[in-house]
Structure 1
Amino acid sequence: MNIKNYIRALFDSDWRFCRLAARGFYNWLPDDLYLKRLFKAKMGYELNLEDPQTFNEKLQWLKLYNRKAEYTAMVDKYEVKKLVAEKIGEEHIIPTLGVWNKFDDINFDSLPNQFVLKCTHMGVIICKDKSSFDRRKAKKQINYWMKKNNYWAGREWVYKDITPRILAETYMTDESGFELKDYKAFCFNGGCDLIDYKFMCFNGKVEYVFTCSERYSSTGLKVTFFDRNWLLQPFERHYQKSEDNIPKPKNFESMVNLAEKLAKGVPFLRVDFYECNGNVYFGELTFYPGNGFEEFSPFEYDMKLGKLIKIK
């Protein structure tokens, strides 16, 4: 620890709690007490679980009190494909190339030159050229993920009982050569700009959509919000919005319809889709975006979106 962080650890109790929590020092705390302390440290105001008002507060409430067994399969990157195919059709599913329990079981000879590796509970690695793919680096990263349980950091209980597995998918690009998926930071052969569409469903209805773009730009990821009619919204959440004009996707209305089918009966659910060569592909489902710890600017939208979640 450098001297600056040492001094901060001595005098900033919120910073100290967040650092220690990330290392598992507070795993012994019950979920409600842990979330109250972490929420205050990250958000700057007390978490009111008795009468939650803001969007971020209600996500914490849902973590604690809206626990249905089927939610776990909905966030398992392999199991969710079966559920989604049953509800909206197999044509919206990115093809699976294989599933394994450990990295050494993967038969790379059977995989195409380009493919995607995912942990069913964690992150993503892509291979654009098998001949130059760094298997040792990929193995190290995946083995690290396989040992992690996403539950502890933010008490997202839906991840606690997922069986960690490794999933291979088809690597997909559109007609311009851009990647279909948002492959985060683990693109070993470089990255390109891409957009994914995240539909915020409140009580089964799409109210807002946001896009993630410019991940590889010098200024970093941009998150831009729109309403159901694709009108640009005047707020941000944690990340700055893009200055570029982001066009409405061609299949927008179809995406809205599909998202609402998947979100039916759920107080809040984020549904991700991608467009590729005129088709709509399912990305993932997320119950607690940003773990419920990302600030809105202006703050009034934390309240405004919070009112849309009906919990009682």
Structure 2
Amino acid sequence: MGNSASHITKQVLRWGTALLPDPLYLALSHRRRIGRFPRIKDPATFNEMILARCLHPDPRWKDLADKLSVRTYVRDRIGEKYLIPLIAAPDLFTREIFEFLPSSFVMKASHGSGFVEVVRDKSRTSFEALQRRAEEWLGIDYSRVARERHYRGIRPRIFFEKLLLDKTGRVPADLKMHVFGRGPDGPIIYTGIIADRFGDARADIYDAHWNRLELAWGSYRRSECALPRPSNWDTLTRIAMQLAEGLGYVRVDLYAPDDEVYFGELTFTPGGGTMPYTPDRCDYEWGRILKQAHYPAA
């Protein structure tokens, strides 16, 4: 009876939360994760500005947040060679599609974040297992998950990409490049590196000159020591700036296995405006940088 009552309570709370209007839902989510109620109408912190973006998205973001349609934008901006090879993007995932897939691949969905299934050996999974996962993803209205409104109207689709591995056989680290624009000393970029994402995940943040910041975000633990600067860092910076040009602030996600460069995604509302930063002053510092990027001094 106890477990049943607990389950019912959780269901009632979930349904009640789903009925909350977006501004109230976001305010409560921010209070729960950050520890204070946000000033959405007069934002000062980075997270508060991201919340405002969730509620008032730029119309361009919809197509650029679509994991399939953004490929055209990337191809036009920086070239086909930076796109992860696309294996299939079927209208319907069928057993025939599964049989067609190579022995290793990555399954993703077009309409949200976190829809990633890494398959290193197809013989160790099944069509039925992947179909269940695909149906689960396709049934999610991602614009309601964190109330990021620019995801509304994105057509949910399943697609398959080549599995990227570095020379050690590992999935390469995510380079999450927060591009704020260009300042007097060059590009203003803060890069979050998530290493061993599907294992013992660790995360660190570096500035544009590859100095590691005394900063942690979310629930990730920091690495014991700083990573060496990528040998192709100048190329990564150039590509991130090219993709961000004309869009204002955007997080450009890239992969750089063995000096190659591949595009991941563009993210306009990272963390949904509820990402804890430690120490908390970073939230205010990035907020000042973002405001300065929007309203540069005369």
Per the normalisation by structure 2, the TM-score is: 0.86
Q: After TM superposition, what 4+ stretches of structure 1 lie above 6 angstroms from structure 2?
A: none
* 2:158 match: 166
User: One-letter code of the match for 1:212?
Assistant: I
* 1:101 match: 91
* 1:13 match: none
Q: Distance in 2 between matches of 1:105 and 1:74?
A: 30
One of 69, 75, 87 as aligned partner of 1:85: 75
User: One-letter code of the match for 2:156?
Assistant: P
Q: Distance in 2 between matches of 1:91 and 1:296?
A: 35
Structure with bigger RCO (C-alpha 8 Å, 6+ apart): 2
Say whether residues 1:198 and 2:176 are aligned partners: yes
Structure 1 unmatched runs, 5+: 10-15, 181-194
Q: Distance in 1 between matches of 2:274 and 2:244?
A: 22
One of 190, 211, 230 as aligned partner of 1:208: 190
Change over 3 Å in CA distance of 1:268–1:135 after alignment to 2: same
Residue by residue over 1:192-248, the C-alpha shift from the partner in whole angstroms, topping out at 9 and shown as x without a partner, is xxx12111111465421110014355xx42210110000010111122211133121
* 1:46 match: 37
On the 8 A contact 1:24/1:153 being kept in 2, the answer is no
Higher mean displacement: 244-253 or 103-112:
103-112
* 1:28 match: 19
* 2:135 match: 143
Q: What's the % identity of the aligned pairs?
A: 30
Q: Distance in 1 between matches of 2:214 and 2:196?
A: 19
User: One-letter code of the match for 2:35?
Assistant: G
Change over 3 Å in CA distance of 1:251–1:111 after alignment to 2: same
Q: Distance in 2 between matches of 1:154 and 1:179?
A: 27
What is the alpha-carbon root mean square deviation over aligned residues?
2.4
Q: Distance in 1 between matches of 2:12 and 2:214?
A: 35
* 1:276 match: 257
Change over 3 Å in CA distance of 1:36–1:179 after alignment to 2: closer
Residue by residue over 1:85-108, the C-alpha shift from the partner in whole angstroms, topping out at 9 and shown as x without a partner, is 100111100111111233227522
Paired residue secondary structure (1:249): coil
Higher mean displacement: 263-272 or 291-300:
263-272
Q: Distance in 1 between matches of 2:41 and 2:215?
A: 27
Q: Distance in 1 between matches of 2:2 and 2:70?
A: 43
User: One-letter code of the match for 2:208?
Assistant: R
Structure 2 unmatched runs, 5+: none
Trace 1:207-286 onto structure 2 (pairs within 5 A). Answer: 207-217=189-199, 220-238=200-218, 239-286=220-267
Paired residue secondary structure (1:148): coil
On the 8 A contact 1:275/1:281 being kept in 2, the answer is yes
Q: Distance in 2 between matches of 1:25 and 1:105?
A: 38
